[in-house]
Structure 1
Amino acid sequence: MGRLIVWVILVGIFLLSGYGLNLIRIAIIDKIANPEIVIWWKVLIGGVLMVGGLSFLGGFIFYRDRKRNKVRPPAWKTK
């Protein structure tokens, strides 16, 4: 049951990130079609959703891999 909840959360975050990317795409297409409209709020909300969702997914994968000892130390720290 716990894994199902985790999958639902991950898929939900992934869909929000995709929706943010879609908002940016629609805003750019609307600006091309009608140059007089203002698109900054769509781009801002889409960017926040996209970056927030991708950073959450990346953090989740990094935390999971670090817990299983699959993360190497960075190359600039090794001699």
Structure 2
Amino acid sequence: MGRFFVWVILIGVFVLSGYGLNLIRIAIVDKVANPDVVIWWKVLIGGVLMFGGLSFLGGFVFYRDRKQGKVRPPAWKTK
């Protein structure tokens, strides 16, 4: 049951990130079609959703791989 909730959270974050990218795309198309329209709020909200979603997914994968021992130490720390 726990894995089901993890999948629901991951898919939800992925969908929100995709929606943020779609908001940015729509804002750019609106600006090209009508130069008088204000798009800064769509780009800002879309960027926050996209960056937040991708950061969450990247952190999830990094944490999972580090827990399984698949992450090597950075090159500047090894001698």
Aligned length: 79
When the two chains are superposed, the root-mean-square deviation of aligned CA atoms in Å is 0.6
TM-score by length of 1: 0.97
Q: Secondary structure at the match of 1:36?
A: coil
Q: d(CA) in 1 for partners of 2:2 and 2:19?
A: 26
1:66 partner amino acid: R
Matched with 1:28 is 28
Q: Where does structure 2 lack aligned partners over 5 or more consecutive residues?
A: none
Q: d(CA) in 1 for partners of 2:21 and 2:76?
A: 33
TM-score by length of 2: 0.97
Q: Where does structure 1 lack aligned partners over 5 or more consecutive residues?
A: none
CA displacement 1:3-56 (0-9 Å, x = unmatched) = 011000000000000000000000000000000000000000000000000000
Q: Does 1:38 align with 2:38?
A: yes
